[in-house]
Amino acid sequence: MENQTSITEFLLLGFSELQELQSVYTVVFLSVYLIALTGNFLIISTVVQNRHLHNPMYFFLVNLSFLDACYISTTVPKFMANSITGDKRISYSGCVAQVYLVVTFATAELLFLTVMAYDRYVAICQPLRYQLIMNWNACFQMAAASWLSSAVNAALHTANTFSLHFCSSNAIKQFFCDIPQLIRLSCSDTQTVIWYVLALAILVGGLGFALLFTSYIYIFSTVFKIQSAQGRQKAFSTCIPHLTVFGLFLTTAVFSYVRPKSLSSPSVDLVAAVLYTVLPPIMNPIIYSLRNKDIHVALSKMTKKLDFL
């Protein structure tokens, strides 16, 4: 990665235009952060402690909860530290690391949601072959491939972004190092870099969306053929939370990166960044806790045990 010697650090301006509200932002983000960590680790502990949840669907859910906890930890703690100390600086290497981790976890989120859609497809459309297809060896391979692909994709995005020259302003109008904001700071020709970012995003995002969409076409066509209402309800109970989580992630990501320029402004950019970096990690465990019957029952049992103790 090539770096200009004049830029050794960046300034994360974030919400600095309203200094009198910094303490409010800190409290709000701290509350959201703690709720997200508690919710995601509660999902993980619930699955680990209940043997009847030791199956492929919940194995991928544990991976999703773990990466959500990591995802929100990449941006929010640094923002809170900057708000408390009043020091908006982040080192060049810290910015590189933040870009790499944000892209890694965002990509992993998409890939695991895609893998979970395939798991639901096999369970509903090919139930007799489910144990054969979704064996533990296949599950570990799919999880490893998702993490590895995310890491490689993030490395390409990070190397592409920091190949630019940063020789003028170092003020990022965001609460973390965001690729679009970094591109705006560059004094290099950014056209090639922008097309490269778009090409990678379309390749990874488009492929994931196409696989998920295709899976659910087969899933719904099979579910509507089920004669019993109880059978349809059971199938939908495992699909609706997943579809809701995916819809939330896709909507926030599209709004952040594909919205028209007429809707772009510093305040809107901040809101969009909060939507796709903070909202999914906090909403995913809530959605699965409320909409998934198995998780809901297991959590209720854990709560009763804690009340007894």
Mean pLDDT by 10 residues, the chain (309 residues): 62 72 83 93 89 89 94 92 86 93 93 91 90 94 95 92 83 87 83 82 82 88 81 77 80 71 72 83 81 75 64
Return the CATH class of domain 9-308. Answer: mainly alpha
Q: What pLDDT, on a 0 to 100 scale, did the predictor assign at position 147?
A: 96
Question: What SS3 state is found at 109?
Answer: helix
CB distance 134 to 117 below 8 Å: no
State pTM to two decimals: 0.87
CA-based nearest residue to 179, from 261, 95, 62: 95
Number of H helices and E strands in the chain, helices first, is: 11, 3
CA neighbor of 12 nearest in space, from 87, 123, 100: 87
pLDDT of residue 19: 62
Max Cα–Cα distance, the chain, nearest Å: 69
- pLDDT at residue number 5: 47
**pLDDT confidence of residue 138:** 94
E-strand spans in 144-264?
A: 171-172
> Which candidate, 256, 155, 150, 242, places its Cα nearest to that of 204?
150
pLDDT value at position 129?
Answer: 92
Considering only CA atoms, which of 252, 174, 242 is closest in space to residue 212?
A: 242
Q: Which residues pair with 172 in a beta bridge?
A: 12
Question: What is the three-class DSSP state of 132?
Answer: helix
